[in-house]
């Protein structure tokens, strides 16, 4: 690159960023009237950086956009930045950054925007996204997922390292991954000096980093270079998505948008990732998310879109959309189920609502643990947060976690407490996986990963915040249970209906799609102290002829009796699952025939029974054998 060969003339701005034509490159920047702006072009020569400055001219202005059409640049790759009013800035539309520091390190020089035309050989043609009712999601933070040495991947903490774990994800049985922010964001913490809106203080003293990426300081079009094992994060990230699709898994991404980001730019970002990276959906976070704009965008049709709260009826005028991809993503399910799990009174009515909830025009994402708050294992081991390592005197993180430690705070050798915790974790997963709506599992929870009581590891780029894969050993019972529970859910559509059960016999089959039972069949008293409930699903509504499922939930600390409903014709019930059993994850190999009309449910236990009218064997043994098709 020499100044003699490079020529620049005012361009016609159309959209921000860089576009390459057969004759040159069009650079477009957003510049407010009255501000001076330059294009900075970089070249490395003999170990030194050369910078060519070309001013933007006002005659190219269209609104707040200025453009330069530049010829004579290398076609393969261009490194550049903008300088506006003397401040060097990366192009917010840059598709890649270079000169970025290693993760958590402070910048030694200004990162550069990079434009590079590079083809990628996608092999995922024909990949079809699953409906929300068919989905089970797994949430991942790319770096912490494989950074621990126990992950046994070659390229730890990277997109490539995550790709090495795809066989594990397939074995688990999930249908898609949701990536926490995997685009370029500033992880070095900036503390604003009180009283000054302009000055910033680097957090050098504590050396904390923002591991999660929920910040408005981001370059949203570029995959995070620190998450790439190679010098080409664009190619490595595309390779990961392509491999996930090849394994039948969807790839969704989280984006946190700052309040100052215009809706038009947000829309550009989502369209870009869907087009360039084949991303299947997005979880949108921030204060000013234009939900209706995204939901009605023609290009995003067929994408999954998750929001903190959303009412699809308002957007779609009460009519079911052609593709139901919008879903609510918040803590409502979590708090209800955790309180029920603790044995709190007055929770049965809300449990009935949450467990069947699946609105007509939009879905709901259910989870028992997320990055905010305790992990599943810590949920049954701690009642108080233990965030001292965060350097904020244990004042950060969620204060009220709705948890019970089963009798001791933290780790214990007491066998009775350890056994109870195992049972409670299985109960929690049963509540999650056998409720309607779409379940989401946070990384490591499927075998009991612990953060040692820290419920806010946003700044823990160390073994406290990383997934310790050695924890699988010794927690095989949890892992086995979760895999088999996912398989049971996927095999039986009564646990993931396309529409919310109505509780009425709207098809004149003789039974409602779902019914509720207590010590008296077909009746649930409105008693605050009620902590036990039976739910019966009629399989005829989901294509399972004359087949019924009965889910017994007792999170009380004493046994309760539930009445099995009488049927028009003989039905034989068999036990498929009980969470108080440890062997085989609680899935029974030799199912006992239930002849009595009353079922005794032990303390803090969930049971699942299946039955078929007119047959003495309901096929529960066959169900288990199908579930055992996966090696454990």
Q: Is the pLDDT of residue 198 over 80?
A: no
Q: Can you tell me the mean pLDDT for 335-339?
A: 98
Is 95 a member of any domain?
Answer: no
Q: Within this chain, do residues 280 and 326 fall inside the same structural domain, yes or no?
A: yes
Question: What is the number of structural domains in the chain?
Answer: 3
Domain boundary among 441, 465, 495: 495
Ranges 39-43, 83-87, 102-106, 434-438: which has the least confidence: 102-106
pLDDT digits (tens, 9 = 90+) for 306-329: 999 999 988 898 888 889 999 999
Q: Within this chain, do residues 465 and 528 fall inside the same structural domain, yes or no?
A: no
Per the CB < 8 A criterion, the answer to whether 432 and 368 are in contact is yes
> Alpha-carbon torsion 442, 447, 449, 455, what sign?
positive
Per the CB < 8 A criterion, the answer to whether 363 and 327 are in contact is yes
Q: Is the pLDDT of residue 32 over 60?
A: yes
pLDDT digits (tens, 9 = 90+) for 235-275: 999 999 999 999 999 999 999 999 999 999 999 999 999 99
> Alpha-carbon torsion 91, 96, 97, 100, what sign?
positive
- Indicate the average pLDDT of the chain: 92
pLDDT digits (tens, 9 = 90+) for 351-385: 999 999 999 999 999 999 999 999 999 999 999 99
Q: Within this chain, do residues 280 and 366 fall inside the same structural domain, yes or no?
A: yes
Distance CA 33, CA 631 (A): 65
Beta strands in 224-323 (DSSP E): 250-257, 281-286, 304-307
CATH code of the domain in which 19 resides: 2.60.40.10
Q: Within this chain, do residues 214 and 73 fall inside the same structural domain, yes or no?
A: no
- Per the model's pLDDT, the better-predicted residue between 321 and 29 turns out to be 29
Helix (H, G, I), strand (E, B) or coil at 58: helix
**Domain around 623:** 514-627
pLDDT digits (tens, 9 = 90+) for 387-431: 999 999 999 999 989 999 999 999 999 999 999 999 999 999 999
Is 197 a member of any domain?
Answer: no
Placement of tokens 């504590």 in the chain: 206
Share of the chain above pLDDT 90, in %: 83
Q: Within this chain, do residues 261 and 144 fall inside the same structural domain, yes or no?
A: yes
CATH code of the domain in which 617 resides: 2.60.40.1180
Q: Within this chain, do residues 251 and 368 fall inside the same structural domain, yes or no?
A: yes
Is 116 a member of any domain?
Answer: no
DSSP state letters, 404-429: --TTSSS----HHHHHHHHHHHHHHH
Q: Which one, of 599, 587, 627, 367, lies nearest residue 492 by Cα?
A: 627
pTM of the model: 0.93
CA-based R_g, the chain, Å = 27
Can you give the pLDDT at residue 416?
A: 97
Domain boundary among 35, 59, 89: 89
Q: Within this chain, do residues 181 and 247 fall inside the same structural domain, yes or no?
A: yes
Distance CA 420, CA 98 (A): 51
Is 503 a member of any domain?
Answer: no
Burial 377-416 (b: 16+ CB within 10 A, else e): bbbbbbbebbbebbeeeeebbeeebbbbbbeeeeeeeeee
Per the CB < 8 A criterion, the answer to whether 41 and 80 are in contact is yes
Distance CA 170, CA 174 (A): 7
């Amino acid at each position: 690159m020499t100044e003699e060969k490079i020529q620049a003339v005012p361009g016609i701005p159309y959209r921000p960023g860089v576009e390459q034509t057969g004759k040159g490159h069009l650079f477009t920047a957003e510049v407010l009237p009255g501000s001076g702006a330059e294009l900075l072009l970089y070249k490395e020569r003999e170990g030194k950086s050369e910078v060519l400055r070309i001013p933007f001219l006002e005659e190219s202005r269209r609104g707040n956009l200025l453009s330069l059409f530049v010829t004579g640049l290398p076609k393969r790759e261009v490194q550049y930045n903008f300088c506006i009013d003397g401040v060097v800035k990366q192009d917010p539309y840059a598709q890649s950054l270079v000169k970025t520091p290693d993760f958590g390190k402070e910048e030694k020089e200004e990162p550069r925007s990079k434009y590079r035309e590079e083809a990628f050989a996608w092999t995922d043609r024909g990949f079809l996204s699953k409906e929300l009712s068919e989905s089970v999601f797994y949430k991942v933070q790319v770096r912490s997922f494989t950074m621990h040495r126990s992950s046994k991947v070659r390229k730890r903490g990277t997109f490539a390292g995550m790709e090495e774990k795809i066989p594990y994800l397939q074995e688990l049985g999930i249908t898609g991954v949701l990536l926490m922010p995997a685009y370029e964001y500033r992880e070095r913490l900036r503390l604003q000096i009180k009283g000054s809106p302009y000055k910033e203080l680097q957090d050098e003293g504590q050396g904390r980093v923002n591991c999660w990426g929920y910040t408005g300081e981001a370059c949203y079009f570029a995959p995070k270079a620190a998450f790439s094992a190679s010098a080409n994060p664009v190619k490595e990230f595309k390779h990961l998505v392509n491999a996930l699709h090849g394994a039948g898994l969807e790839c969704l991404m989280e984006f946190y948008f700052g309040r100052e980001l215009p809706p038009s730019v947000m829309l550009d970002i989502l369209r870009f990732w869907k087009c360039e990276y084949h991303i299947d959906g997005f979880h949108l976070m921030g204060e000013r998310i234009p939900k209706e704009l995204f939901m009605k965008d023609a290009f995003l049709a067929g994408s999954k879109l998750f929001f903190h709260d959303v009412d699809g009826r308002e957007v779609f005028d009460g009519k079911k959309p052609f593709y139901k991809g919008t879903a609510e993503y918040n803590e409502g399910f979590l708090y209800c189920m955790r309180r029920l799990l603790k044995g709190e009174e007055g929770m049965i009515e809300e449990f009935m609502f949450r467990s069947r909830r699946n609105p007509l025009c939009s879905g709901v994402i259910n989870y028992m643990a997320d990055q905010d708050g305790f992990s599943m294992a810590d949920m049954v081991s701690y009642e108080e947060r233990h965030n001292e390592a965060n350097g904020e005197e244990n004042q950060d993180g969620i204060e009220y976690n709705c948890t019970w430690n089963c009798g001791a705070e933290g780790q214990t050798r007491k066998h009775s407490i350890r056994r109870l915790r195992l049972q409670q974790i299985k109960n929690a997963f049963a509540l999650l996986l056998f409720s309607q709506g779409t379940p989401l599992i946070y990384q490591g929870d499927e075998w009991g990963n612990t953060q040692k009581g820290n419920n806010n590891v946003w700044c823990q780029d160390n073994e406290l915040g990383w997934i310790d894969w050695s924890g699988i050993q010794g927690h095989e019972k949890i892992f086995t249970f979760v895999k088999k529970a996912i398989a049971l859910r996927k095999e039986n559509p009564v646990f993931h209906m396309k529409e919310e059960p109505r509780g009425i016999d709207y098809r004149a089959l003789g039974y409602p799609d779902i019914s509720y039972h207590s010590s008296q069949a077909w009746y649930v008293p409105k008693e605050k102290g009620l902590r036990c409930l039976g739910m019966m699903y009629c399989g005829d509504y989901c294509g399972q002829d004359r087949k019924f499922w009965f889910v017994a939930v007792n999170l009380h600390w004493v046994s309760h009796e539930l009445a099995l409903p009488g049927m028009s014709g003989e039905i034989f019930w068999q036990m498929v699952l009980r969470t108080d059993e440890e062997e085989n994850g609680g899935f029974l190999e030799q199912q006992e025939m239930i002849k009595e009309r009353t079922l005794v449910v032990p303390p803090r236990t969930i049971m699942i029974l299946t039955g078929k009218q007119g047959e003495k064997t309901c096929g529960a043994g066959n169900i288990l054998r199908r579930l055992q098709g996966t090696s454990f």
